């Protein structure tokens, strides 16, 4: 059947029409029981509820268990027979409202609310924990409006006041106390209340409304003149999702941040006259009115587009300003302009109007004084702004400047004038400047030209948006900001003519040879004869007719025989033949001529190449390359051993001297490697900056646990961390705040000359660091010294300095004045772990491995290992000799006593075969 009795009815009630709810309610027996034993009945109920013997869960469970014996098919059949069949057979639909199946859900609703109702009557069960707590300081009655039918109940101190109340009907519960002063007040069945009326008369202090989840309004303060509640100092709300209005006006000692983030339907919130520092609002909602005091330090409003009344007497105390889609009525600009510098600012979705660009730039200057917040509320270095500012007119340059400073602020305008700059292809020359208005198109029709290169001729094809780019048909269109365009060209590969000569006789002309390609001689080279009459067979074309880059004349060259014999001509005659160009017919590879070098002995200079070495000035090749047939008398170091004094290295690959740590660990190593008798004494400084608050741990120690081998002393901000002679690490933990700097001074001494000892500094924590190092000995520099080992390569090598400054002056003047500086390339190391190819300009040099091995420029002479075997001038025993190219950071290449190739560390001495070009 239909639901006849509501959950709020009692045995003394009548229903519509006057019928008694309970047929026996007029019984004298039951009347006497109700009146005489009410307190006993209440106590019995309270005991049943407190012990759990009677509860909604248990009662509903029993019904469910009992009813679960019948399958759904029974209820379906019952529904058809009682309610549906009459409709089908007789057209009677009067019974359809009772078609409710098992009625389980109806029963759950009724039982749940019935327990709530009886709990409120006997002040038992859930009603005792479902409370509003208030500490009152003045006598006042409370008027409540229930959300559901209950007994309205208030406990003033120890006095419980109750009255039966109906849904949406206000009821006033009078305070029985003569004096209310710091009195606990409990309002029961909090979740069943829609309103508790005006509580400002109680002058409340502490107030907790977190259980009152159906409150629709809450008034704890008053706006009337003269009202002031100095008692209010604590207010707690919860997920009061139906609460629309909150009033705590004129409670000056309320200083906390009020959290109403769970009040999703809040429309009005009044905090005038309080001293709160902030209010946590819902993220998104229908808030319309928000009044705050001038004491607010954090103003955060997120997604409240309906807000039309935001009232704050002054903004000067605000240090955190976050407004995201806060509604057009919120004057975010006025707030921003009145808060202090260095405040944290995030404003999203604003729309401002500015008179001119200067006003916009002034706003940007103001923003530059602020910090920011990301979307999670974390600190950022710059104010975070996303919105629009409108001005009447701008120039393209101004617009670009503003976008560069704050790219997420969209500057809109009525009129814009922009400049279109026309450049040559690579942007190195401005050709023309055109002014364009309001996003129009450029109309400049100039057609610049580009000078041909050896490889290409160029034809103008339009304008590009990037230097050296392809033509873009939109490059001159819709110019909405200052724009640079660049002349674009199509390229055509150039062709050249190649001439084949035998001496001065032109043998063949090949035309239309594309740049970078090759030409072929169609004749029989075996029939060619040396025009000098040497009878030597044809060898090759010089230059080779490959990789053609211009009109080229190729000359037949002939295999030059090697002849190891002394030149009879004097040096003056030799040099004269070089000048007149007859040297190729006078001398052959392997010919040599003696030079008296005084203390270095008499050295024979041997011809190892004709027309192979490139002049340093780029003007061509040098006629003759000479290399000493013998080694210098004394063996020499090529360079000092690689010296390592203090090495800031990082196993994780961070750059030397700097780094950033999260919670990871980094070792900094002060390392000594030396073969000298002097002790190594180095000092360093590490400046650590905490990237956020937390612990930073610094440890120091020696790698070798042997006393008197090494010593490391660490001082942290003038406090000695340790003076350590062994491998035991000593440490210090610093509780750092964000931005704090910690200076670690390191004094390291290796007092062993034969053992590798490392002083180690270990840093753990969230920080960045910068390192510097100094050395207390003059001949040491920090890290791996340039000019030691192979660091700096041949260019910084001591042997190179010796050849130039000591050996060259020993040469006879007539030879020395005819030496030509040549360009030499070779492998080197820029740092201890960075190999590079190095090019130097040299007058006196030693050969590289690549020049004497594997088809190098001297391998026409050095055809086998035998010719690479050399002896000192005064010895019959072969000796290895240095090459100028590097193998590793510690080793140079050198030629062995058997003429092969190998490597050698710089701590060894080897022979020197030097060369020069004339």
Amino acid 673: pLDDT: 41
Mean pLDDT of 474-489: 94
The pLDDT of residue 667 is above 60: no
Judge whether residue 560 has pLDDT over 70.
Answer: no
The DSSP call for residue 907 is T
State mean pLDDT over 745-759: 61
Check pLDDT > 80 for residue 779: no
Q: Which of 251-255, 356-360, 741-745 has the lowest mean pLDDT?
A: 741-745
Count of alpha carbons within 13 angstroms of residue 324, beta-carbon side? 17
Neighbour-count burial for 167-196, b at 16+ CB within 10 Å, e otherwise: eeeebebebeeeebeebebbbbbbbbbbbb
Share of the chain above pLDDT 90, in %: 69
Q: What is the mean pLDDT of residues 484-502?
A: 96
* Predicted pLDDT at 672: 44
pLDDT > 70? residue 756: no
**What are the tens digits of pLDDT across the range 423-458?**
999 999 999 999 999 989 999 999 999 999 999 999
Higher pLDDT, 765 or 311: 311
Task: Return the SS3 of 762.
Answer: strand
* CA distance linking residue 736 with residue 697, whole number of Å: 10
CA-CA distance, 892 to 884, in Å (whole number)? 7
pLDDT at 432: 95
Residue by residue, what is the 3-state secondary structure of 81-145? HHHHHHHHHHCCCCCHHHCCCCCHHHHHHHHHHHHHHHHHHHCCCHHHHCCEEEEECCCCCEEEE
In what side-by-side order are the strands of the sheet with 694-702? Answer: 665-671, 758-764, 694-702, 730-736
Q: What is the pLDDT of residue 311?
A: 96
Instruction: Measure the CA–CA gap between 275 and 381, rounded to whole angstroms.
Output: 30
- Bridge-based pairing of strands 592-596 and 891-895 is unpaired
> Is 824's pLDDT higher than 60?
yes
Higher pLDDT, 640 or 595: 595
Q: How confident is the model at residue 43 (pLDDT cuts 50, 70, 90)?
A: very high
The pLDDT of residue 262 is above 80? yes
Residue 91 CA: distances (Å) to CA of 86, 307, 898: 6, 55, 123
Q: Which among 95-104, 482-491, 745-754 has the top mean pLDDT?
A: 482-491
Question: In this predicted structure, what is the pLDDT of residue 776?
Answer: 35
The mean of the pLDDT values for the chain is 88
95 CB burial (10 A radius; 0-12, 13-18, 19+): middle
**What sign has the CA pseudo-torsion 643, 648, 649, 655?**
negative
**pLDDT, mean of residues 68-93:** 91
What single-letter DSSP state applies at residue 445?
-
Query: Which pLDDT does position 643 carry in this prediction?
Result: 54
689 versus 534: the higher-pLDDT residue is 689
Q: How far apart are CA 700 and CA 516, in angstroms?
A: 62
CA distance 764 to 185: 55
pLDDT at 436: 93
Nearest residue to 701 (alpha-carbon basis) of 668, 673, 678, 679 = 668
CA 294/CA 6 separation, integer angstroms: 51
pLDDT per residue over 193-212, tens digit each?
999 999 999 999 999 999 99
pLDDT of 179 reads: 92
User: How much is the pLDDT for 789?
Assistant: 82
- Model pLDDT for residues 318-359, shown as the tens digit of each residue: 999 999 999 888 999 999 999 999 999 999 999 999 999 999
Mean pLDDT along residues 826-835: 85
Cβ atoms of residues 505 and 531 within 8 Å: yes
Query: Quick one: CA torsion of 389, 391, 393, 398, rounded to 10 degrees?
Result: -40
- The pLDDT score that the predictor gives to residue 722 is 65
CB 316 within 8 A of CB 335: no
Count of CB atoms situated within 10 Å of the CB of 302: 17
Could you read off the pLDDT of 570-615 as tens digits, one per residue? 999 999 999 998 898 789 899 999 999 988 889 999 999 999 999 9
Among residues 646, 681, 642, 678, the alpha carbon closest in space to that of 761 is found at 646
Q: Is the pLDDT of residue 251 over 70?
A: yes
What pLDDT, on the 0 to 100 scale, is given for residue 818? Answer: 96
CB of 458 within 8 A of CB of 450?
yes
Q: What is the pLDDT of residue 674?
A: 39
Tell me what pLDDT residue 20 has: 86
Q: What percent of the chain has pLDDT over 70?
A: 90
Torsion angle in degrees (nearest 10) through CA of 251, 255, 256, 260: 40
So what's the pLDDT on residue 662?
47
pLDDT tens digit sequence for 133-189: 999 999 999 999 999 999 999 999 999 999 999 999 999 999 999 999 999 999 999
């Amino acid at each position: 059947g239909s639901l006849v009795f509501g959950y709020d009815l009692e045995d003394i009630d009548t229903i519509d029409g006057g019928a008694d709810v309970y047929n026996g309610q007029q019984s004298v027996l039951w009347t006497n029981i109700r009146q005489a034993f009410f307190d006993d009945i209440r106590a019995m109920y309270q005991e049943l509820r407190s012990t759990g013997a009677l509860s909604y869960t248990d009662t509903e469970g029993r019904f469910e268990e009992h009813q679960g014996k019948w399958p759904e098919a029974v209820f379906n059949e019952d529904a058809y027979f009682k309610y549906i069949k009459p409709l089908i057979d007789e057209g009677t639909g009067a019974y359809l409202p009772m078609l409710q199946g098992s009625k389980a859900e109806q029963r759950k609703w009724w039982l749940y609310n019935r327990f709530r109702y009886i709990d409120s009557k006997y002040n038992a069960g859930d009603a005792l924990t479902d409370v509003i707590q208030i500490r009152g300081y003045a006598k006042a009655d409370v008027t409540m409006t229930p959300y559901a039918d209950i007994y309205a109940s208030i406990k003033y101190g120890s006095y419980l006041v109750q009255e039966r109340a109906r849904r949406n009907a206000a009821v006033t519960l009078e305070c029985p106390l003569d004096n209310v002063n710091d009195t606990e007040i409990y309002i029961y069945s909090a979740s069943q209340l829609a309103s508790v009326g005006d509580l400002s008369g109680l002058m409340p202090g502490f107030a907790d409304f977190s259980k009152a989840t159906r409150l629709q309004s809450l008034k704890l303060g008053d706006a009337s003149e003269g009202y002031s509640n100095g008692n209010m100092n604590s207010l707690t709300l919860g997920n009061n999702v139906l609460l629309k209005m909150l009033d705590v006006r004129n409670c000056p000692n309320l200083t906390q941040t009020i959290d109403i983030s769970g009040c999703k339907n809040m429309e009005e919130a009044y905090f005038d006259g309080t001293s709160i520092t902030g209010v946590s609002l819902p993220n998104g909602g229908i808030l319309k009115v928000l009044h705050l005091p001038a004491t607010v330090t954090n103003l955060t409003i997120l997604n409240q587009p309906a807000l039309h009344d935001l009232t704050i007497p002054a903004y000067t105390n605000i240090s955190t300003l976050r407004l995201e889609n806060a509604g057009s009525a919120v004057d975010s600009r006025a707030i921003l302009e009145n808060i202090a510098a260095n405040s944290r600012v995030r404003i999203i979705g604003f729309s401002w109007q500015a008179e001119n660009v200067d006003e916009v730039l002034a706003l940007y200057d103001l923003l530059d004084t602020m910090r920011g917040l990301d979307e999670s509320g974390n600190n950022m270095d710059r104010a975070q702004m996303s919105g629009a500012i409108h001005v009447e007119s701008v120039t393209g340059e101004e617009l670009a400047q503003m976008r560069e400073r704050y790219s997420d602020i969209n500057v809109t305008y009525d009129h814009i004038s922009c400049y279109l700059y026309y450049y040559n292809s690579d942007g190195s020359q401005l050709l023309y400047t055109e002014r364009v208005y309001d996003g129009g198109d450029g109309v400049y029709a100039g057609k610049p030209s580009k000078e041909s290169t050896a490889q290409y001729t160029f034809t103008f094809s339009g304008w590009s948006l990037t230097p050296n780019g392809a033509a873009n048909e939109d490059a001159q269109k819709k110019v909405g900001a200052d724009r640079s365009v660049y002349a674009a060209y199509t390229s055509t590969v150039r062709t050249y003519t190649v001439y084949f000569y035998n001496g001065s006789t032109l043998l063949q002309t090949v035309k239309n040879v594309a740049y970078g390609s090759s030409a072929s001689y169609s004749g029989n080279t075996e029939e060619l004869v040396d025009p000098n009459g040497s009878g030597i067979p044809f060898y090759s074309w010089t230059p080779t007719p490959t990789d053609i880059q211009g009109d080229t004349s190729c000359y037949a060259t002939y295999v030059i025989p090697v002849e190891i014999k002394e030149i009879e001509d004097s040096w003056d005659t030799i040099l004269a033949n070089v000048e007149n160009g007859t040297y190729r017919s006078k001398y052959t590879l392997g010919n040599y001529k003696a030079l008296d070098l005084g203390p270095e002995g008499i050295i024979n200079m041997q011809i190892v190449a004709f027309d192979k070495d490139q002049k340093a000035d780029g003007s061509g090749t040098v006629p003759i390359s000479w290399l000493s047939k013998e080694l210098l008398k004394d063996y020499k170091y090529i360079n000092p051993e690689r010296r390592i004094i203090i090495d800031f290295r990082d196993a994780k690959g961070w750059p030397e001297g700097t780094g950033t740590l999260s919670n990871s660990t980094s070792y900094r190593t002060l390392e000594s490697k030396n073969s000298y008798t002097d002790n190594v004494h180095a000092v360093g400084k590490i400046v650590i900056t905490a990237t956020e608050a937390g612990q930073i741990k610094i440890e120091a120690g020696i790698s070798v646990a042997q006393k008197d081998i090494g010593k490391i002393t660490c001082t942290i901000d003038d406090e000695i961390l340790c003076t350590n002679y062994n491998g035991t690490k000593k440490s210090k933990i610093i509780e750092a705040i964000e931005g704090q700097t910690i200076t670690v001074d390191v004094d390291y001494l290796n007092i062993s000359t034969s053992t590798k000892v490392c002083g180690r500094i270990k840093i753990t924590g969230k920080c960045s660091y910068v390192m510097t190092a100094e050395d207390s000995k003059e001949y040491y520099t920090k890290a791996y010294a340039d000019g030691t080992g192979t660091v700096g390569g041949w260019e910084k090598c001591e042997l190179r300095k010796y050849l130039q400054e000591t050996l060259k002056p020993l040469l006879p003047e007539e030879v020395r004045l005819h030496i030509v500086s040549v360009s030499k390339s070779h492998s080197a190391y820029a740092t201890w772990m960075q190999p590079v190819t190095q090019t130097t300009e040299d007058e006196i040099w030693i050969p590289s491995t690549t020049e004497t091995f594997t088809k190098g420029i001297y391998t026409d002479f050095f055809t086998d290992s035998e010719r690479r075997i050399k002896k000192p001038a005064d010895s019959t025993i072969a000796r290895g000799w240095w090459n100028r190219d590097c193998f590793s950071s510690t080793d140079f290449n050198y030629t062995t006593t058997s003429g092969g190739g190998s490597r050698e560390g710089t701590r060894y001495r080897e022979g020197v075969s030097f060369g020069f070009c004339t």
